[in-house]
């Protein structure tokens, strides 16, 4: 009988999905590796083959979540040509993603906190800053395109991109606290209009 071929990437993603469920229930500071192994339907030894430590697992969960968000948001690049419409679509796609991931919002902010420098100066999530800078650069490119085409005023494109992402982060934080309702379908349009009013020519 031939040995069973395991799709390691698929198995890894399944384990990360299981870890997110455990994190949502227990937080990222109180979980046990065995709980994640049970949730993923694998042995503890198999779990450690993929993730040798708790830190490795937490870091991988953050990067998976961020990659999923970037992949979702990058759909905007294939859609409208108009820079203002790209911004509107980016905001809408962001809201769609976080609405679909609502049960994970609490752990997202746990993960963000883990990315802040610790007392010894080293954050748990090395590379989180690079991932965030990459996302800022994508939005900056949309704004720069609008400036070059005289659709947007000659603003500081990088600062405007940072402001937009800070606005989205703030709203998702409020949603995690139950202050903002992500199910409000009017929010993306209202946020888009407020932001674009500040940069449109």
List the structure tokens of 54: 């708790």
Q: What is the pLDDT of residue 48?
A: 93
Q: Is-above-0.85 flag for pTM?
A: no
pLDDT category, 113, cuts 50, 70, 90? low
In angstroms, the CA 37 to CA 19 distance is 8
Handedness of CA 16, 22, 24, 29 (dihedral sign): negative
Q: What is the pLDDT of residue 191?
A: 92
101: pLDDT strictly greater than 50: yes
The CA-CA-CA angle for residues 27, 56, 38, to 5°, reads: 60
Q: List domains and CATH numbers for the chain.
A: 1-52 (1.10.10.60), 61-197 (1.10.357.10)
In angstroms, the CA 26 to CA 167 distance is 28
pLDDT category, 2, cuts 50, 70, 90? very low
Beta bridge partners, 200, equal 152
In angstroms, the CA 17 to CA 87 distance is 30
């Amino acid at each position: 009988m031939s040995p069973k071929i395991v799709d390691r990437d698929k198995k890894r993603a399944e384990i990360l999905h299981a870890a997110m469920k455990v994190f949502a229930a227990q937080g990222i500071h109180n979980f046990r590796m065995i709980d994640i192994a049970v949730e993923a339907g694998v042995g503890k030894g198999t779990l450690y083959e993929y993730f040798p430590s708790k830190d490795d697992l937490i870091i991988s969960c953050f990067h998976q979540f961020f990659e999923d968000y970037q992949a979702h948001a990058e759909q905007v690049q294939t859609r409208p040509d108009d820079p203002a419409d790209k911004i509107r679509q980016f905001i809408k796609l962001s809201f769609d993603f976080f609405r679909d991931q609502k049960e994970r919002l609490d752990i997202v902010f746990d993960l963000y906190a883990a990315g802040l420098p610790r007392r010894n100066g080293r954050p748990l999530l090395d590379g989180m800053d690079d991932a965030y800078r990459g996302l800022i650069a994508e939005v900056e490119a949309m704004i720069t395109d609008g400036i070059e085409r005289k659709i947007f005023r000659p603003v500081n494109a990088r600062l405007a991109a940072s402001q937009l992402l800070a606005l989205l982060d703030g709203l998702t934080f409020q949603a995690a606290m139950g202050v903002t309702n992500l199910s409000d379908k009017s929010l993306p349009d209202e946020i888009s209009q407020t932001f674009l009013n500040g940069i449109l020519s």
